[in-house]
Structure 1
Amino acid sequence: MFSLKKIGAIVIGSILIAIGINFFVVPLGILDGGIIGVALIINYVFDIKIGLIMLLCSIPIFVLAWFYNRELLYISVSGLLLSSYVIDFMEPYQYYFSYYIEWTPFTRAVVGGLAIGTGIGVMLRQHVSTGGMDLIAEYLSEHIKINVGIIVLVIDLLIISIGEWILPGDSFFLSLMTITAGGLATSLCTLRRSENS
C-alpha cells in the first residue's frame, strides 16, 4: 500500500501546497479551488485554521470513499493529515516571507497556484491525494477517462465562483489566475499517468 515513492509524494506535495497557500495565496486574500478554497473562505470569514477546516470538510467525502475505494481512502487520509498539519505549521511564517520578498499580486497569485497545483499533481501522480475534491477528481478520472488536472480545474472554478461574493476588487481575477496555474501544473504532473491509463 505505502511505498517510498508514495511517502515522498505526500511529503513533497504537502510542503508545496503549504508554501503556495501560506506565502502566496493567503497574504493576497484570494482563493484556490476545491477543499482548500472552501477552507480559505471559512478562514477569511471566521479566522479558523485552514488545515483544521480542510480536515473537517473532508470527513463527508471520506465517508463516501469508504464504500468505493478503501485503499485510496487510507492513502488520501495520510496525505490530508500531513498537508493539513504542514499548512497550519507554516502559517506563522507568512509575515517573514511577505516582508522579505516583494512580488506583484499577479506574480504571487500565479506562483502560488503553480506551487499548490504541483503539490497536488505530485501526489496524484503516485495515486495519493489530500482527499476532498482531489479524491472526487481521482475517482472521476478513473471512470470517465479525463485528465485529473482538468477535473480539478473545473471543480476549482465552481468553488471560486461560489466564493466570489466575499472577494473585493480584483481578487476574483487573481483567484482565477491561481486556479488556472494550479490546474495546468496538476495536469502536467499527471499527464504521463493519464496516457498510461
Structure 2
Amino acid sequence: MVHSIRSYILITCGGMIQGLGMAIFLFPHSIPSGGAGGIAVLLNYWLNMPLSFALWLVNFSMLVVAIYWLGNASAIGTMYGITITSLSVHLFSFDLYRPYTNVWFDLIIGSIILGFGVGILLRQGVSNGGMGVLALIIAKMKNIAPGQPLFLLNGSVFIITGSIIAWPIVLQALLSQWLSTKMVDFVFKLKPILSFPFSSPFLAARKKRERTSHRK
C-alpha cells in the first residue's frame, strides 16, 4: 500500500508537469506535444473541441486498445496519469499563466518540462498515453529506452498536423519531440538515488504477470 501511494504521488506529479508544459508553452502555438497532442490540436481545429477533453478522449481510446499489453495495473495507472494531465491542461489554459510569447523560447522550455513529466510517468511503469502507450510496449519488447520509438511514432502525426494547419509546425514539433524524448531517456535511465522515487507496483505487477506467462 505504501508503494502504491508513493507511485500515485509520482504519477500525479508527472501528469501535472506534463500538462503544464503542454498548456503554457506548446499548445498556445499549436505545437503538438506528441501523437495524442497532435490529434487533439486537429480536433480542436476542426471541431472546436476543448483541448483538455480532446486530449483525454484520444488518450483513452488508445489506452483501451493497449490494455492487453500493458496489463490492468499499468492501465489503471496510465488512465489516472492521463486524467491528471488533461485536468492540468485545463487548469493552466488561461492567459494568466502565459508570461512569454516567443515561440522558440516556449518550445525549448515546454519540451524540457514535457519530457521531464513523461519520464517520471514511464519510470513508474505507466504510459503518458497516446503514442506513449505504443512506445512503452516497443521499449518493453526490445528492452530499450522509450524515447526513440516515441519520436518515430509521433513523426507521422506531426506531418499530418503541419499539412492541415501550418507547415512550420512540423519543424517545431520535430524539434520539440527531439528535446522532450532526450529528456525522457535521461530521466528513464537515471539510477535511483533513493528507493522512493522509482518504486512502482505497476512494474512489479507486470513482471509477476510475465513470470506467470513463462511458466505456462
Do the structures match in fold with TM over 0.5?
yes
SS at match of 1:32: coil
Distance 1:62 1:169 in 2: 29
**One-letter amino acid of the structure 2 residue matched with residue 37 of structure 1:** G
- How far does the alpha carbon of each residue in 1:108-145 deviate from its partner, in whole angstroms, 9 at most, with x for none? 11111111111111110111223222122111111012
170, 188, 191: which is aligned to 2:189?
A: 191
State the 1:103 CA deviation: 5.2
Distance 2:64 2:20 in 1: 29
Counterpart for residue 30 of structure 1: 31
State the 1:166 CA deviation: 2.5
Number of corresponding residues: 190
- How far does the alpha carbon of each residue in 1:84-123 deviate from its partner, in whole angstroms, 9 at most, with x for none? 12212221x2x1233xx23532111111111111111111
State the 1:52 CA deviation: 1.4
Structure 2 counterparts to residues 77-92 of structure 1, below 5 A? 77-91=79-93
Distance change >3 Å, CA 11–CA 144, structure 1 → 2: same
**One-letter amino acid of the structure 2 residue matched with residue 62 of structure 1:** L
Distance 2:124 2:34 in 1: 21
Distance 2:37 2:104 in 1: 20
Distance 1:20 1:76 in 2: 18
Q: RMSD of aligned C-alpha atoms?
A: 2.2
Counterpart for residue 133 of structure 2: 135
Unaligned runs of 5+ in 1: none
In 1, are the aligned partners of 2:60 and 2:79 still within 8 Å (CA)? no
**Could you say which structure has the larger radius of gyration?**
2
In 2, are the aligned partners of 1:32 and 1:156 still within 8 Å (CA)? no
- How far does the alpha carbon of each residue in 1:127-172 deviate from its partner, in whole angstroms, 9 at most, with x for none? 1223222122111111012211111111222221221212436332
Counterpart for residue 97 of structure 1: 97
In 1, are the aligned partners of 2:8 and 2:77 still within 8 Å (CA)? no
Structure 2 counterparts to residues 57-136 of structure 1, below 5 A? 57-68=58-69, 69-91=71-93, 93=94, 95-98=95-98, 101-102=99-100, 104-136=102-134
Distance change >3 Å, CA 66–CA 31, structure 1 → 2: closer
**One-letter amino acid of the structure 2 residue matched with residue 134 of structure 1:** G
SS at match of 2:92: helix
Structure 1: 4+ residue segments shifted above 3 A: none
In 1, are the aligned partners of 2:158 and 2:169 still within 8 Å (CA)? no
State the 1:79 CA deviation: 0.9
Distance 1:14 1:38 in 2: 19
141, 144, 154: which is aligned to 2:142?
A: 144
In 2, are the aligned partners of 1:21 and 1:116 still within 8 Å (CA)? yes
Unaligned runs of 5+ in 2: 192-216
Higher mean displacement: 10-19 or 64-73: 64-73
In 1, are the aligned partners of 2:77 and 2:126 still within 8 Å (CA)? yes
SS at match of 1:67: helix
- How far does the alpha carbon of each residue in 1:178-197 deviate from its partner, in whole angstroms, 9 at most, with x for none? 1111111111111247xxxx
Distance 1:53 1:3 in 2: 29
Higher mean displacement: 144-153 or 167-176: 167-176
Distance 2:85 2:113 in 1: 13
